[in-house]
Amino acid sequence: MSCVIFGAGKIARGFIAHLLSLSDIDFVFVEKVDALADLINERGQYTINILGAPEKNYVVKNARALKFSQVDEITEAIAEADVVFDAVGGKNLQEIVPFYIKGIEAKAKKGGYLNFVTCENWKQPAKILQDGVEAGISEDTKEYLDKYVGFTESVIMRSGIEAPKELLEKDPLIVNVQDYWYLPVDADRVKGKLPEIKYMDALTGFSGFLERKFYTYNAANGSTSFLGALLGYEVLAEAAHDERILKILDGVYHETGKALSEKHGIPLEDQMAFTQTSLHKLQDYTIVDSIERNARDPLRKLGKDDRLVGSARMVLACGIKPENLCTAIAAAIYYRNLEDPSAVELERIVKEEGIDAVLEKVCGIDPNGELGLMIKEKIEKIKEWGWLKNE
């Protein structure tokens, strides 16, 4: 029994590897950054700090990593594996497809089932990988691919936070994580059977769960982050306790909640209870998570299908006016951070080309359509409130 984990960042080390280690399953990281791979191989272990529950802290031992340059070793690791996880960031998925193709072609010669489980906050990550593999796989492997290889998704709801400097000096691989353990996986897309992994739950009827999480948790996170940045907060939990933000956030939860309930047939009271788990996480002071980290890359986070505009489009399609989501989008448009190239470019577009250009080029919506007009109305509102001090 063995697994491969593409990526060795905070979620890969602090959640996926944690569960595999607890389950006594052998695994290897595949990491693009050579220095990180070298550090893992040099130290061979690292600590996971469970925020607010130090009695649950854990040391992952026998950690090892392969570099992207080690193509043959990666191919063999996939061929020997039962499951391959990825936690590389949605925008990097295409980059790992060639490794998957080589690994599947090698696995086909050995035989047996192989499942790929995505661990990304991204829309349809499994489809991206499956489409890429199907387009590039050799003809003589296609039958094996169809019968024995599964591409499925999980929903990641544990946060991994950068550890303080004093802890990193003792253990540069240490990860601070939320005291959350549940890893739901879409069972309907699995071929064969997944191994027994602690806290992993293979669910049937998974359709909509990832979207439900994305448009509840990520929409709320984005709203709190960009509103918090506008109001001068640096820590997410502190922003999530501000009454001005909470009023808007409550509206966001009701807008997405009603839409998701209607779209996926979820009882509204169940969906609203789910929103409370999101709020609890945002307000948890033990999770010292920065506004900067969560607001980073606003050009992507303002995308047509991402957490804010995507949520607003879904809500509007259900006949609900996304008033509060549009306020959050307005705040995001005015996110400023000179250290973030994406934020710098966003500021340039606003100042040189105007709001309509942001709505059209970044958000992918008609500036004079219903959603575009609502966002522009909310920009005027936050100006009236005095929230745009430097504009």
What is the Cα–Cα distance from 153 to 83, expressed in whole angstroms?
12
CB of 90 within 8 A of CB of 121? yes
Task: State residue 208's pLDDT score.
Answer: 76
What is the Cα–Cα distance from 120 to 175, expressed in whole angstroms?
18
β 26-31/200-203 pair status:
unpaired
Task: State residue 235's pLDDT score.
Answer: 97
Residue 290: other Cβ atoms inside 10 A: 15
Task: State residue 309's pLDDT score.
Answer: 98
CB of 215 within 8 A of CB of 310? yes
Half-sphere exposure of 372 (CA within 13 A, CB side): 17
- How far is residue 80 from each of residues 4, 74, 115, 241, 258, measured CA to CA in Å? 9, 10, 12, 48, 45
Residue 382: other Cβ atoms inside 10 A: 18
Provide the token pair at 376.
């522009």
What is the Cα–Cα distance from 358 to 347, expressed in whole angstroms?
10
pTM of the model: 0.85
pLDDT digits (tens, 9 = 90+) for 108-163: 999 999 999 999 988 889 999 999 999 999 999 999 999 999 999 999 989 998 89
**Residues 130-140, buried b or exposed e (16+ Cβ, 10 A)?**
bebbeeebeee
Task: State residue 390's pLDDT score.
Answer: 65
β 45-50/114-118 pair status:
unpaired
Half-sphere exposure of 333 (CA within 13 A, CB side): 31
Residue 42: other Cβ atoms inside 10 A: 10
What is the Cα–Cα distance from 94 to 91, expressed in whole angstroms?
7
Provide the token pair at 333.
């448009």
> DSSP for 291-349?
HHHHH--HHHHTSTTSTTHHHHHHHHHTT---HHHHHHHHHHHT---TT-HHHHHHHHH
Ranges under pLDDT 50 in the chain = none
pLDDT digits (tens, 9 = 90+) for 210-257: 888 889 999 999 999 999 999 999 999 999 999 999 999 999 999 999
